[in-house]
Amino acid sequence: MVQKKNKKVYILAGNWKMNPGTFAEAKKLFAGIDKQTSKASRVTTIIAPPYLYIARLKGKHVSLASQDMFYEEKGSFTGKISAAMLLDAGTKYVIIGHSESRKLGDTNQSVNKKVHAALKTELTPIVCIGEEIRNDDGHHLEFLRAQVAESLWGVSKKQMEKVIIAYEPVWAIGGAIAMSPHDVHEMYLFIQKVLRETWKGISASTVPVLYGGAVDPTNAAAIVNEGQVDGLLVGRQSLVVESFASIISILNEL
């Protein structure tokens, strides 16, 4: 996370997925979020709209992200978009390895290629990890360890300073019950442990870890405060100006 005058600056990313249905709606929504963000000096707000809207959305206070990208620079790849194209369109961040993309074929290996392509082009990758189910025997922890290690294989310690990790338990995405703040904190500590073991000497402040999954204005403060994560990745609530503005305000006042 960013530090300003010893105060933590939280990261709040909104993933619009395949919404809203028209650019007029997107423009109005984006403008409302941008206005609220102007009042929040302790929140870095990021919005990931559909590809078609990225180059057309303009704001003074909100950064743009892509919901995905392809790892090749150019060529015969119908329907794909490169990191350089996204950067040229005004994008600063890119979500990589979201569970919905993994369901459509993304693997740790393809995620890894995308991460390297993003870093090469100076986009900041928001790398998503998350288990589908939790096991009493802890198998889900090894699953997550593999996701981190394989998705970020070959990334140098210096490059890790440009990486954001978003932990989204798949079972909590899409309106289900959010993970408890206590469990969020345990997973935060586990992810940081994996990072320290994989990149020797890396500090907890180097790689921000976000939580995503059924976040709303009623649980955002507890998840961030008690969970001690560095921010949030929000889906459905980022499509409602009032709800997302409320989360921005909550993080700004923590």
Catalytic residues: 98, 168
Strand partners, 166: 128, 210
Distance between CA atoms of residues 25 and 223, nearest Å: 30
DSSP string covering 77-134 = -TT---HHHHHHTT--EEEES-HHHHHTT--HHHHHHHHHHHHHTT-EEEEEE--SS-
Beta strand 7-15 with 2-4 is: antiparallel
Q: Which pair of structure tokens corresponds to residue 114? A: 């995308």
Rounded distance, CA 31 to CA 28, Å? 5
Beta bridge partners of 126: 95, 164
According to DSSP, the residues that pair with 3 across neighbouring strands are 8
